[in-house]
Amino acid sequence: MTDPQDPYLIISSDCHAGLPTEEYRPYLDSRFHREFDEFLAGRDRRREEATRLGIRNEAFADKWFSDNEEGLRGGWDVAQRLKELDSDGVAAEVVFPDADAVDSQTAAPFGVGLGLSGDQDPELGMAGAQAHNRWLAEFVSQNPERHCGVALLPITAEPDKVVAEIHRAKESGLGALMIPSMWVDHPPYHDPRYEPIWAAAAETQMPLVTHSGAAPRHEYGDHLGIYVSEVTWWPARPLHFLIWSGVFERHPGLKFGVAESGCWWLPNLLWFMDRLYLGAHGGKKLSPFSALKRPPSEYLDRQVFICATNTKRRELAQRYEIGVDNILWGSDFPHPEGTWPNTRTWLKNTFHDIPVAETRRMLGLAAAEVFGFDTDKLASIARRIGPTPADLGQPEDQAAVEASWARSREVGRHWLTGNDFPTMGVTAP
């Protein structure tokens, strides 16, 4: 990629795949088939619950399924999936569970998909996760260069079994691990019981990821607004626990990410944490933060990434505080809140005045590093399907674009660069 007008290598850091639920049966240990039948029998009740909270809108669902019937089969059909990725210009993808976000017809067994939660029955949870993980390994093996499969990891189960599943998943060809956002009544993520798990994830180079979905719904009544307002906080919350308990200091090879929760909250969090850490180290001999050897933002840049999905303009304006390399774009295929099947238009509307070099990082190169994609193998696909900077409305002469963001980039994280506050957005040249 030496010509600045080369097509983009686009990697979606947040896509979804999953079998129609009943088809998971052959991937599930047969001793759990009776429980699986009970789980299948409860589907209607769960759909009713979703409708009650207003997550499911009947009219919207009907239109969505009739408009996109063919493409939605890409949720579990590889050939159809590649067609959809190609038409969106997406060369590769990170594959989370639950293809069907509208009707939950592709829920992994026993609720271990995006609803993965720390209080799941440990045995059933691991069985359901393994069923999905086995299928997913098969699914991604057909074009391994284009998919990074995310194994489901019920991390609150017996640590030995969790570590074994990490190695099993790695050997089967999966590339990342989704852990629950919420530990519920199990030990929080600062607990030493998780140390062997962090070590195994680092050793196998499998990034850990939380994904939005779980939240304390029992508190929300019928109020969808409360759920949506909080559902991005819970997946980011483990960061507080991992950073302050020194997990990133003890496991420098561990990578951790937060998916489909935006990245708008990160500047405030970094500002808040860094000031707390640096303030304590400024005047006092004994710091209450002895588990850390550097400011939280340094661990973040070294080991944390954000699968920010369909990044908003407000977030891009804050990218010098977030860290350009920490923002991993995603299409959320095949979910309706994502950019599919209009990704090309969406990219143009969103990135037209962003420097090309930074766009390349956010749209693909940063994700390639985090998830270990082979960019050489993807280069020819990108050349074939990727939109060019011109397609995104980005001017060939980048000097004015770069200049318009210069002050914002220079100020960056203002608390580290001696500025009182950020300079957000473009300034007149």
Residues engaged in binding a second copy (CB under 8 A): 54, 57, 59-60, 188, 190-191, 219-221, 223-226, 228-230, 233, 237, 240-241, 243-245, 264-265, 268-269, 271-273, 276-277, 284, 286, 288-289, 291-292, 313-314, 316-318, 414-415, 420-425, 427
If the CB atoms of residues 228 and 324 are measured against a second copy, the closer one turns out to be: 228
If the CB atoms of residues 318 and 326 are measured against a second copy, the closer one turns out to be: 318
If the CB atoms of residues 41 and 286 are measured against a second copy, the closer one turns out to be: 286
Question: What sign does the CA torsion over 374, 377, 382, 383 have?
Answer: positive
Burial label for 386, CB within 10 Å (0-12, 13-18, 19+), is buried
Distances (CA, A) of 162 to 151, 168, 180, 194, 400: 11, 10, 13, 10, 51
If the CB atoms of residues 55 and 379 are measured against a second copy, the closer one turns out to be: 55
What distance in Å separates the CA atoms of residue 278 and residue 274, rounded to the nearest whole number? 6
What residue type is 104 in one-letter code? S
CB of 279 to a second copy, least distance (A): 10
If the CB atoms of residues 164 and 400 are measured against a second copy, the closer one turns out to be: 400
CB of 313 to a second copy, least distance (A): 4
* Tokens linked to 423: 């300079």
CB of 19 to a second copy, least distance (A): 29
CB of 74 to a second copy, least distance (A): 25
If the CB atoms of residues 73 and 190 are measured against a second copy, the closer one turns out to be: 190
Distances (CA, A) of 164 to 126, 157, 205, 358, 375: 11, 11, 15, 38, 30
The answer to whether the beta carbons of residues 236 and 258 sit under 8 Å apart is yes
If the CB atoms of residues 5 and 287 are measured against a second copy, the closer one turns out to be: 287
* Tokens linked to 81: 């999936």
- Bridge partners, residue 212, by sequence: 214
Name the DSSP class of 158: -
| 3-state secondary structure (DSSP) of residue 307 | strand
CB neighbourhood size of 6 (10 A): 16
CB of 82 to a second copy, least distance (A): 31
Helix boundaries (H) for 122-265: 122-141, 159-171, 195-203, 224-230, 233-244, 247-250
If the CB atoms of residues 164 and 184 are measured against a second copy, the closer one turns out to be: 184
CB of 308 to a second copy, least distance (A): 14
What distance in Å separates the CA atoms of residue 201 and residue 187, rounded to the nearest whole number? 19
CB of 307 to a second copy, least distance (A): 18
Q: Phi/psi class of residue 292: alpha, beta or left (left: φ > 0; alpha: ψ in -120 to 50)?
A: beta
If the CB atoms of residues 37 and 60 are measured against a second copy, the closer one turns out to be: 60
Helix, strand and coil percent figures for the chain, each rounded to 5: 50, 10, 40
If the CB atoms of residues 67 and 272 are measured against a second copy, the closer one turns out to be: 272
CB of 426 to a second copy, least distance (A): 9
What distance in Å separates the CA atoms of residue 346 and residue 357, rounded to the nearest whole number? 19
CB of 59 to a second copy, least distance (A): 8
User: Which strand ranges, in their side-by-side order, compose the sheet holding 304-309?
Assistant: 11-16, 92-96, 147-152, 176-178, 208-211, 256-259, 304-309, 327-329
* Tokens linked to 293: 């050897």
Tell me the CA end-to-end span of the chain in Å, nearest whole number. Answer: 29
* Tokens linked to 128: 């359901």
CB of 14 to a second copy, least distance (A): 18
If the CB atoms of residues 49 and 171 are measured against a second copy, the closer one turns out to be: 49
CB of 277 to a second copy, least distance (A): 7
